Structure 1
Amino acid sequence: MQHFAMGSWLLFFAYATSVVGSTVGLACTLQARHASGRARLGWLVLAAVSIGGVGIWLMHFIAMLGFATPGMPVRYDIARTVLSAVLSISAVFGGLVVFGVRAGFSRWRLLVGGLIMGLAVNLMHYTGMWAVRIKGTIGYDGGLVLLSVVIAVVAATAALLFTVVVDRLALRVAAGLVMGVAVTGMHYTGMAAVRVTMDQAAPDPAGVEVFSFLFPVFVLAAAALAVPISAVLMAPTRRARAPLPALQTSST
């Protein structure tokens, strides 16, 4: 079993993809905290698609380009692959709703939102791995699986915290970098937990190769990111709005 069959450069490409999706999504989350009603919901939807769809799901399958069982095929179940994308976006949206539904800062909302978003990263990863088909079986080391959960939750919570500390570009980028660590760190820790048992006598797995769906999805994701990026660029700056009481603790 190999995790870098195409070279270590894939790790950096996957991380960069996660950072871009996460940075755009967290910027949308910040905008949601300034908005209200349908506008707030719209920003959270854009954030969930950016983080869950690009920052987490697309990053996972880019990284999976390096997963190989030498001499034997690796295939993917399309229905389960699509399900992993739906679950990722939905779970991230749930975490963002908890965190971004109020303008005031709330510690419990931060912790619960970070927990849900961190678990969303894990949910996507292991659902995505459920879609993998090989000539054999896939198992996991329980200790490393638990570590992957901790990494994702801690880093996701830290990334959300960055979005309310200061409304500055540098902090938005820092939040994206931290969220990228959550996603890629969780992914490769989760992959380190994988235990593969090959069976030469087993039939070739059904499904499709990752290349057959990843390239069109990558192009689609790049086009889809244009919407939240444009929305963030056209949104009014903080100076044009009333000050946000970001560090004022809310009881609700």
Structure 2
Amino acid sequence: MRGTVDGFTQGPAILALAFLVACLGAAVGLRCAIRPSRTARTGRPSGTVRLLLGALSVGFGIWIMHHVAITGFTVVETPLSRDRPHVLIGLVVVVVMAGVGLFVVGYRGATRMALITGGALTGLGIASTHYLGMAGIRFQGHFTYETPLVVLSVLIAATAATAALRAALSTRTLLSGLGAGVMMALAVTGMHYTGMAALGVQLQPGVSSVVSADPPAD
């Protein structure tokens, strides 16, 4: 039996809030990490510390965005719950992969290979935290995915993340830093909602058709 998915039970304000969270986390993290990371090559510990703080900011922003957006997600026929280990693993993965992506671009600069590598790693981190989070949702059934849309979601994340890293390298003002943050937020939200569009629900036999409006519980 196919389930009915509703991704906006909390209204469109959830989309705006999720985008804002991702934007702020990315803007702070990119500003903190990219330019200072270049100084870390000289052995100054402050550059390395700021790179780590930037990775945490970007990673947490991505992770929180997913969990803000998912509060508006329900399967109409059955209540949902979350598996905490999947949630925490998703956080670790995105912080590590975003950190490596920032490290590559911060140290190598705006070379084509550095941007492609850094953007791909960051994009994969974004996708990983999303799909790990979805894998941790428990209900009376299972999710199915349309492979072309899943691939598209990863490509969106990697492409927009690459653009954000490129913009961050030329950041000179607060406004340009916010612009880089917006690009990264587009990577995160674009990936998330494309991934959600790829999703289908297969319910277990005998599941009641009673409507459940509950978002995923912790």
Alpha-carbon separation, structure 1, partners of 2:205 and 2:75: 11
Alpha-carbon separation, structure 2, partners of 1:74 and 1:211: 6
What does residue 135 of structure 2 align with? 130
Of 43, 52, 62, which aligns to 2:50? 43
Alpha-carbon separation, structure 2, partners of 1:29 and 1:85: 18
CA contact (8 A) 1:61 1:210 kept: no
Of 132, 140, 144, which aligns to 1:139? 144
> Which aligned pairs between 1:209-248 and structure 2 lie closer than 5 A?
210=216, 212=218
Does residue 182 (structure 1) correspond to residue 187 (structure 2)? The answer is: yes
- Deviation of the 1:159 alpha carbon: 0.4
Segment of structure 1 superposing worse, 166-175 or 134-143 = 166-175
What does residue 225 of structure 1 align with? none
Of 148, 153, 161, which aligns to 2:153? 148
Residues 216-239 of structure 1 show CA distances to partners (whole Å, capped at 9, x for unaligned) of xxxxxxxxxxxxxxxxxxxxxxxx
Residues 88-107 of structure 1 show CA distances to partners (whole Å, capped at 9, x for unaligned) of 111111111111124x5322
CA contact (8 A) 1:26 1:172 kept: yes
- Deviation of the 1:200 alpha carbon: 5.2
Give the aligned CA root-mean-square deviation in angstroms. Answer: 1.7
For 1:194, the aligned partner's letter is L
- Deviation of the 1:193 alpha carbon: 0.5
Of 5, 27, 30, which aligns to 1:26? 30
What does residue 15 of structure 2 align with? 11
CA contact (8 A) 2:82 2:138 kept: yes
**Secondary structure class of the residue paired with 2:79:** coil
- Deviation of the 1:112 alpha carbon: 0.7
Question: TM-score, structure 2 length as denominator?
Answer: 0.88
Larger RCO (CA under 8 A, 6+ residues apart)? 2
**Secondary structure class of the residue paired with 1:191:** helix
Residues 171-202 of structure 1 show CA distances to partners (whole Å, capped at 9, x for unaligned) of 11100011000000100000000110112536
CA contact (8 A) 1:31 1:43 kept: no
Q: Which runs of 5+ in 1 are unaligned?
A: 204-208, 213-252
Q: Percent identity?
A: 37
Alpha-carbon separation, structure 2, partners of 1:164 and 1:88: 21
**Secondary structure class of the residue paired with 2:178:** helix
> Which aligned pairs between 1:73-222 and structure 2 lie closer than 5 A?
73-102=79-108, 104-199=109-204, 201=206, 210=216, 212=218
**Secondary structure class of the residue paired with 1:195:** strand
Alpha-carbon separation, structure 2, partners of 1:151 and 1:160: 14
Question: TM-score, structure 1 length as denominator?
Answer: 0.77
Alpha-carbon separation, structure 1, partners of 2:165 and 2:78: 41
Q: Which runs of 5+ in 2 are unaligned?
A: 209-214
- Deviation of the 1:32 alpha carbon: 2.1
Alpha-carbon separation, structure 1, partners of 2:27 and 2:129: 19
- Deviation of the 1:170 alpha carbon: 1.5
Alpha-carbon separation, structure 2, partners of 1:86 and 1:97: 16
CA contact (8 A) 2:7 2:73 kept: yes
What does residue 72 of structure 1 align with? 78
